[in-house]
Amino acid sequence: MELDPESADISGQTIIDSTAPTGLEFHFAKGAKPLSTPWQLAVERARLVRKAGLMEGLILDPACGSGIQLAAYVATLGRKGVGIEMDYETAVSANRNLARVHMHGFSDNVRDTRIRVGDGTKGDSGLRIALLHLDPARPRNSRKHSLDEMKPSLGAILSAWKDNMQTNEFGPAILLDLSPRLSETQRLEVEEIVDSFWPNTGKTWTWTSRGGGRVDRLSLWVGQLSNNDAKRRYLRIPPSSKSRPYLIEGNPDTFASLRRLPKKGDYVTILDSALVNSGLATTFIKSKFEETEFYWSEISGRRPQIHHQNKLRLDSDGEELLIQATGKVVSLIHCDLNEDNIPIIVMKAREFGFGKLTLRLTMKPSMQPALQGSIDRQLSATGGESIGFIAKQPEDSMLMLCLEK
């Protein structure tokens, strides 16, 4: 069955995507919204693909879900597309979303794109494919995704559409949108699957972040989409769609954490975790210091942390997006973080004129709201002007009181 956006019924409930232009709302089948790609991210990704250049042909998304990424591709690249979705209700939503994007003023390529209800692992010899985008489904509650959990499987999709791909000396143009929880070993397994179809084709892994201390997307850009000079790419999506994303490309550095007690007067910087996971953090950090040493206190988790002696030099607002927090250690508090010790922490914070203090350390999620709320209430009464945060080294109960500004 093939669905046509011109005949789509766009009545019914819609959901606002805060990253989309005002008035552009989307349809979702039950439970599909959390799995969808935000419009801003989908468009920025399409813009990167456009810079790479594509051969003639269609955009194919053989597991298109709600169709947000497919709509962004065809709207941005000026190509017609085909989306395939196994679930009928989800396919209907994707078709409705194409209609809404076209009605919002985007090109007729969106209107001329088709959604097929069916199995994406079944090829169609009549299609010439310029770009294949695959975002396989995976269990939402799995903490560590395996390749076997991805449906449809990478191998089945590549096998079904290999002969349809438009290739040149760089190979095909493929973007595999995968789980951000894939380990290095699993990433190598993905590369081996690609190599089994197109040996020695260029590959660039891309870590994408929208902030919040997490990796939002991990994708492999293959062939025409890869950068021969860079195995890794980091993309930071800004809060506003009016701002441009921050992009770093290069090859990964190796680094390790160092057990070293912090000192009063040192600086603590908490980096975007996606930047650290990409392996490109060291190059960026070195460019921000004037002949100073730094060491890693924490590498894994949502709050990777470095300590250094000189203030971090940030040259643009875009660079600030790569930093969760940075500040000077004004006091070391020798106590654990718990409800009983909040008065000790607040008393020390008042000594340094803090009016706002954010907890930036690992703790049980159930504890964070209560402890942060208690600190907020007690400091707001004093009206201090200083802003800062509390950090902690791994395996150390000592708290670092850090002044931001």
Q: Name the packing angle between helices 68-77 and 88-103 (round to 10°).
A: 30
142 CB neighbour count, 10 Å cutoff: 11
By DSSP bridging, strand 2-3 and strand 114-117 are antiparallel
Task: State residue 301's pLDDT score.
Answer: 86
Handedness of CA 182, 185, 186, 192 (dihedral sign): positive
- Give the containing element (helix H, strand E) for 21: none
- Give the containing element (helix H, strand E) for 162: none
Q: Which amino acid is at 16?
A: I
Contact status, residue 305 vs residue 269, Cβ threshold 8 Å: yes
Task: State residue 212's pLDDT score.
Answer: 77
Token pair listed for 140: 């939402």
pTM value is 0.91
Q: What does CATH list as the number for 2-250?
A: 3.40.50.150
DSSP secondary structure code for residue 120 in this structure: T
Task: State residue 40's pLDDT score.
Answer: 94
Query: What is the helix, strand, coil percentage profile of the chain, to 5?
Result: 30, 25, 45
> Could you identify the residue written with the tokens 């169709």?
67
Dist CA 390 CA 5 (whole Å): 52
By DSSP bridging, strand 232-236 and strand 203-209 are parallel
Q: What proportion of the chain, given as a percentage, has pLDDT over 90?
A: 72
Contact status, residue 232 vs residue 187, Cβ threshold 8 Å: no
Task: State residue 273's pLDDT score.
Answer: 93
Dist CA 79 CA 176 (whole Å): 19
- Strands (E) across 51-91 are located at 58-61, 81-85
Low-confidence ranges of the chain (pLDDT < 50): none
Contacts of 337 (CB under 8 A, 6+ apart): 345, 359, 361, 363, 371, 390, 392, 399
Q: Where are the domains of the chain?
A: 2-250, 267-403
Contact status, residue 370 vs residue 402, Cβ threshold 8 Å: no
**Residue 284 CB-density burial (10 A; 0-12 exposed, 13-18 middle, 19+ buried):** buried
Contact status, residue 359 vs residue 375, Cβ threshold 8 Å: yes
